[in-house]
């Protein structure tokens, strides 16, 4: 390992997930010296961090040059289910093999010139003279950088210690997913899920959250659920049941899984926070991806936003370096915060409000939401998905006033 005093890079990135790896790809394309520190061993990567359902859409694939061979299945439709109804909308997408996707990003970044160090778990920020100058990792190793980027996911290892971000347990979503075969995708009484990504809102299965079936080809799919430990979960949860129990309950009671079996070695667990970030940067520092957090609070799609946050950080770093005098101060890096709010996760506050309404509504109201979605046109639905309060109002009824009051009270709390 190089001597710490000479081990200096333009940018040090902690974490080789989609955000960190994309940030590295963009930076090395601009000619910068970048090192990425990844906690997992190279031979097993990404066994422990293979946590995403991998659902995404064409803009991400094309914007970041993602090859088709990491896509398990290209889909045509998005399906929204409630306990007793469903809504189908044409929306092309793709379900990624998340491990292959991450391996591609690392391989491509290396070929472009990024340095990767595995078995290099970042522990603490390295501060000298009151200034962030690098990180400590592994067994007491240090590496220096003009800019440090935290891409460690929900752990937010550096951002927390630097006081940039406070992640609240009340806003932490936990998830579990199985890859399965033998699923009846076109079962009578349900939407046809062939070449579809389906999200189900049903408190019996995912109290205070949602579940999903993402078709991955033939009779296989990714099947999972997630929820937050919030007031909605406490209201609808059954005593003694954990997330594994809820997923098993769904598999036992939904006829689509009657002949389905889990694929050995293809089980994933993960977590993310759904909340507004405090800050995203400080002197010589930016936090990206799920360290921020960045996951879309309505439908849980996080890959595109994570990749965009990595790109926004790379653009910001480039502007710091190309100036006549290098300036990586908090004032200069705050441009990343602006990009995040306008380009990466616009209207995040409104989208958080929409998600809280959806995840707190009782099951009978969720059935009504599906019927309401059918009576408004696709343009208005797109506006709801984009965080339009006015469009959301068209899906609300007078009976929703108490629900909205509870959501607003919880948000202020």
How much is the average pLDDT of 167-179?
A: 85
pLDDT band at 198 (very low <50, low <70, confident <90, very high): very high
Rounded distance between C-alpha atoms, residue 50 and residue 72, angstroms? 15
The reply to whether 24 and 127 lie within a common domain is yes
* 264 and 215 fall within a common domain: yes
Looking at the structure, tell me whether residues 115 and 151 fall in a common domain: yes
Query: Which CATH number is 210's domain given?
Result: 3.30.9.10
Q: Is residue 185 part of a domain?
A: yes
Examine the domain organization and report whether 223 and 244 are in the same domain: yes
- How many structural domains are present in the chain? 3
In a domain, 72, yes or no: no
The domain that holds 283 is classified in CATH as 3.50.50.60
Q: Strand 71-81 relative to strand 196-200: parallel, antiparallel, unpaired?
A: parallel
Residue 86, domain member (yes or no): no
Mean per-residue pLDDT over the chain, rounded: 90
Per-residue confidence band for 276, with pLDDT thresholds at 50, 70 and 90: confident
pLDDT at residue number 49: 60
Q: Tell whether 44 and 159 lie within a shared domain.
A: yes
Q: Are residues 307 and 252 in the same domain?
A: no
Greater pLDDT, 402 or 190: 190
The pLDDT score that the predictor gives to residue 1 is 40
**Domain identity same for 360 and 403:** yes
In a domain, 80, yes or no: no
Share of the chain above pLDDT 70, in %: 94
Instruction: Give just the sign of the alpha carbon dihedral 296, 299, 302, 307.
Output: negative
- Asked if residue 63 is part of any domain, the answer here is no
pLDDT at 343: 93
The answer on 194 and 266 residing in a single domain is yes
Same domain, 291 and 324: yes
User: Which of the listed residues 292, 324, 344 is the one where a domain comes to its end?
Assistant: 344
Q: pTM to 2 decimals?
A: 0.91
- Quote the CA–CA distance of 289 and 159 in Å, as a whole number: 12
Residue-level pLDDT at 4: 47
Coil, strand, or helix at residue 239?
A: coil
Residue 174 and residue 155 in one domain: no
**pLDDT classification of 257: cutoffs 50, 70, 90:** very high
Evaluate whether residue 75 is within a structural domain: no
Of the ranges 143-152, 167-176, 222-231, the best mean pLDDT one = 143-152
Residues 174 and 310 in one domain: no
Q: How far apart are CA 409 and CA 145, in angstroms?
A: 43
- Tell me, yes or no, whether 146 and 251 share the same domain: no
Distance between CA atoms of residues 159 and 339, nearest Å: 18
Which of 316, 344, 372 is the last residue in one of the domains?
344
Residue 1 lies in a domain: no
What is the reported pLDDT for 273? 76
Rounded to whole angstroms, the Cα distance separating 68 from 96 reads 9
Angstrom distance (rounded) from CA 331 to CA 296: 27
Taking 60 as the threshold, does the pLDDT of residue 338 lie above it? Answer: yes
Domain with 296, as residue range(s), is: 8-50+99-167+275-344
Domain end (from 344, 374, 392) = 344
Please give the average per-residue pLDDT across 6-29, as a whole number.
96
Q: What is the pLDDT of residues 346-393, one digit of tens each?
A: 888 877 777 788 888 889 989 988 888 888 777 777 776 666 767 777
Judge whether 363 lies within some domain. yes
């Amino acid at each position: 390992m190089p001597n710490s005093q000479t081990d200096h890079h333009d940018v040090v990135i902690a974490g080789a997930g989609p955000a960190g790896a994309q940030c590295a790809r963009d930076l090395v394309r601009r000619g910068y010296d970048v090192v990425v520190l990844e906690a997992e061993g190279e031979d097993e990567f990404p066994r422990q961090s293979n946590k995403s359902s991998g659902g995404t859409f064409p803009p991400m694939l094309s914007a970041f040059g993602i090859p088709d061979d990491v896509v398990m299945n290209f889909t045509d439709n998005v399906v929204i289910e409630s306990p007793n109804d469903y809504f189908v909308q044409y929306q092309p997408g793709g379900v990624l093999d998340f491990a292959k996707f991450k391996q591609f990003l690392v391989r491509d970044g290396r070929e472009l010139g990024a340095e990767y160090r595995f078995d290099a778990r970042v522990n603490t920020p390295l501060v000298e003279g009151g200034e962030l100058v690098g990180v400590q990792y592994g067994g007491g190793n240090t590496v220096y950088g003009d800019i440090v980027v935290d891409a460690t996911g929900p752990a937010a290892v550096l951002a927390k210690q630097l006081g940039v971000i406070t992640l609240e347990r009340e806003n932490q979503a936990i998830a579990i997913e199985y890859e399965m075969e033998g699923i009846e995708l076109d079962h009578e009484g349900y939407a046809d899920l062939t070449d579809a990504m389906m999200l189900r809102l049903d408190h019996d299965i995912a109290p205070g959250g949602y579940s999903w079936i993402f078709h991955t080809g033939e009779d296989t799919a990714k099947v999972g659920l997630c929820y937050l430990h919030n007031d909605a979960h406490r209201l609808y949860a059954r005593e003694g049941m954990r997330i594994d129990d809820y997923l098993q309950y769904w598999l036992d009671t939904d006829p689509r899984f009657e002949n389905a079996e889990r694929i050995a070695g293809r089980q994933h667990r993960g977590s993310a926070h759904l909340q507004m970030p405090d800050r995203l940067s400080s002197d010589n520092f930016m936090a990206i991806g799920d360290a921020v957090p960045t996951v879309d609070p309505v439908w849980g799609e996080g890959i595109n936003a994570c990749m965009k946050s990595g790109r926004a950080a790379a653009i910001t770093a480039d502007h710091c370096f190309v100036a006549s005098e290098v300036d990586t101060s908090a004032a200069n890096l705050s441009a990343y915060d602006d990009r995040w709010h306008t380009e990466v996760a616009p209207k995040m506050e409104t989208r958080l409000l929409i998600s809280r309404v959806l995840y707190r509504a009782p099951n009978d109201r969720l059935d009504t939401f599906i019927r309401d979605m059918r009576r408004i046109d696709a343009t208005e639905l797109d506006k709801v998905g984009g965080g339009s309060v006015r469009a959301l109002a068209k899906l609300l009824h007078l009976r929703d006033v108490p629900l909205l009051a509870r959501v607003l009270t919880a948000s202020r709390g």
